[in-house]
Amino acid sequence: MKKLPIGIQNFREIIVDNYIYIDKTEEAYQLVSNYKYVFLSRPRRFGKSLFVDTLKELFEGNKKLFEGLYIYDKWNWDEKYPVIKISWDGKNRTIKDLESTLRETLLENQRRLGIDCDDDLDLVICFRRLITQTAEKYNQRVVVLIDENDKPILDVLDNIEQAKEHREYIRGLYAVLKGVDAHIRFAFLTGVSKFSKASIFSGLNMLTDISLNPKFGNICGYTQRDIETSFKDYFVDVDMEKVKRWYNGYNFLKDNVYNPFDILQFISNGFLFRNYWFETGTPSFLIKLLKERRYFLPKLTNFIVDDKLLSTFDVEEIDIEVLLYQSGYLTIEKMIQNELLQSIEYKLKIPNIEVQISLNDYIINYLFKTDTRIKDPLIKSLYYGKPEELRDTLIALFASIPYNNYTNNELKLYEGFYASVVYSYLASLGVDLIGEDVTNKGRIDLTVFVSDKIYIMEFKVDGAKGEALSQIKQKNYAQKYLDRGKDIYLVGIEFSSSEKNIVNFEWEKV
């Protein structure tokens, strides 16, 4: 049985020491055969660094490492290329930090390639000379690999002015590539976010973004076939359907894929279902944005964005949905051809139960500061079809929200707040939900699916008594689900902004 490559991003080590390797060399072959400058965006911990290192070994012509892989009999191993590899590992809180990191990575490349660069030189000039002198020394064009190119910006996204300063610094560095084009055979940049060409990639109009190219949809991540073949010895007597619900679901316009980090941790931790990937990053800046913009959280289950919106990211105008997608908290459910606008749109979704539960637990703790132990009576009331207990649990929930969440600009009162609280708690249970569920008569505020039951919910604030349930019935929202063969509950919930709680809760069973 091959070993699990936990925390290993070095292609040589994986092959030589007999770790499991999912063959991505077909995608590598297509890339290097058809493009010169390439950008790839994927969420963190998704295998970008391993792919970069695979390219390094490929261009350096280390043939023996690729025996048995797709590319082995297709690559010209007689041609070897010098490789410059830039990585932004480490602390990146100031420009001084960036310079220190860059200086170290340039020195490492110089030592490996046998190139000397004056220590007193500006680092951007040093980068340029590293490329030109390497090409001259080896009489061969250079391959440039830049891993996590946007990390210097993302590390300080909580300080917009600092982020802009970092953006200008690395923009000047990457601009070097265009000036030394004649010396470059191939350049590949990875990142979490796709910053617009007007910002980080200014002038690099030759850069091809493959992030939403279906041909490269599986370039990172594990497919279900990978799990059932390469990992089959590990997944004996494991509930694979539950594994899919928990960790599968990421989609980049090809197959659904797993985050490799999740699968490796899941196996190594004795097949316990936990939030392995989520725990590796804290979405505090994202949650801060959700609070500041009073975001209507049920939208997360049913959101459509256009192609341009999904492909760009700017420090000055951070779009929440783009940040959620590029960070891995949302993924693509399907691509939609808008015939009227002659454009492409994408319907987004939360990828799996791990993200759904973990993200909403984090929101609950950060935004609402309430006790998640209330989740047990909440799920029981839904599962056993007891709306009165649901009412009592929700009343207790809103009563437990600290008063200062409503005052001192901590969380200004707004109509969507109540729906967002209910949504977050229900989503944290891992049940299926649809926010702003579209029918032919309007939009249901929240539809909840639990076992053999469907709950259709409407929320009103400071309205007339009975208005919420009346709207559900008048617009016949239940009609959409009558053919499901399930019990349907119509639930109208009305809040008072002065009492900051539920003042009327009505329900009917269809």
- Side by side, the strands of the sheet bearing 222-223 are 222-223, 256-258, 250-251
Of the residues 216, 233, 253, the one at which a domain ends: 216
With cut-offs at 50, 70 and 90, classify the pLDDT of residue 198.
very low
- Looking at per-residue pLDDT, the higher value among 91 and 448 belongs to 448
Domain membership flag for residue 327: yes
Q: Enter the pTM of the model.
A: 0.92
Is 209 found in the same domain as 261? Answer: no
Domain membership flag for residue 427: yes
* Angle of helix 95-113 versus helix 160-174 axis, rounded to 10: 30
- Looking at per-residue pLDDT, the higher value among 305 and 382 belongs to 382
Mean pLDDT of 442-462: 95
For residue 366, pLDDT over 50 is answered with yes
Domain membership flag for residue 355: yes
Q: For the segment 453-467, what is each residue's pLDDT rounded down to a tens digit?
A: 999 999 999 889 999
Is 318 found in the same domain as 251? Answer: no
Is 131 found in the same domain as 114? Answer: yes
CA within 13 Å, CB half, 57: 23
Domain membership flag for residue 201: yes
For residue 192, pLDDT over 60 is answered with yes
Domain membership flag for residue 115: yes
Mean pLDDT of 148-155: 90
Q: For the segment 400-427, what is each residue's pLDDT rounded down to a tens digit?
A: 887 555 444 344 456 688 899 999 999 9
Chain mean pLDDT for the chain: 91
Quick one: what percent of the chain has pLDDT higher than 90? 72
* Amino acid found at 479: Q
| Contact status, residue 436 vs residue 300, Cβ threshold 8 Å | no
Is 34 found in the same domain as 115? Answer: yes
Domain residues for the domain of 489 are 284-509
With cut-offs at 50, 70 and 90, classify the pLDDT of residue 22.
very high
Where is 55: in which H helix or E strand? helix 48-59
Is 466 found in the same domain as 324? Answer: yes
Of the residues 216, 234, 262, the one at which a domain ends: 216
Report the distance separating Cα 82 and Cα 184, nearest Å: 10
Domain membership flag for residue 91: yes
Is 75 found in the same domain as 106? Answer: yes
Q: For the segment 262-294, what is each residue's pLDDT rounded down to a tens digit?
A: 999 999 999 999 999 999 988 888 888 888 888
Weakest mean pLDDT among 172-176, 287-291, 370-374, 407-411: 407-411
Q: For the segment 332-343, what is each residue's pLDDT rounded down to a tens digit?
A: 999 998 777 788
Is 260 found in the same domain as 404? Answer: no
Is 288 found in the same domain as 266? Answer: no
| Contact status, residue 194 vs residue 39, Cβ threshold 8 Å | yes
With cut-offs at 50, 70 and 90, classify the pLDDT of residue 199.
low
Is 43 found in the same domain as 16? Answer: yes
Is 262 found in the same domain as 132? Answer: no
Domain membership flag for residue 420: yes
Q: For the segment 104-139, what is each residue's pLDDT rounded down to a tens digit?
A: 999 999 999 999 877 677 999 999 999 999 999 999
DSSP assignment of 231-297 equals TTTT-SS--HHHHHHHH--EESSSSEEE-HHHHHHHHHTTS----TTGGG---HHHHHHHHHTT--G
Q: Give the three-class secondary structure for 355.
A: helix
**pLDDT value for 409:** 39
Domain membership flag for residue 381: yes
**pLDDT value for 410:** 42
For residue 4, pLDDT over 70 is answered with yes
**pLDDT value for 339:** 79
What's 199's domain CATH number?
3.40.50.300
For residue 237, pLDDT over 50 is answered with yes
| Contact status, residue 124 vs residue 64, Cβ threshold 8 Å | no
The number of domains in the chain is 3
Q: For the segment 38-72, what is each residue's pLDDT rounded down to a tens digit?
A: 999 999 999 999 999 999 999 999 999 999 999 99
Of the residues 280, 308, 324, the one at which a domain ends: 280
Phi then psi for residue 40, to 5 deg, are: -130, 125
**pLDDT value for 412:** 43
- Looking at per-residue pLDDT, the higher value among 442 and 63 belongs to 63
**pLDDT value for 311:** 67
Is 182 found in the same domain as 313? Answer: no
**pLDDT value for 109:** 97
Is 229 found in the same domain as 125? Answer: no
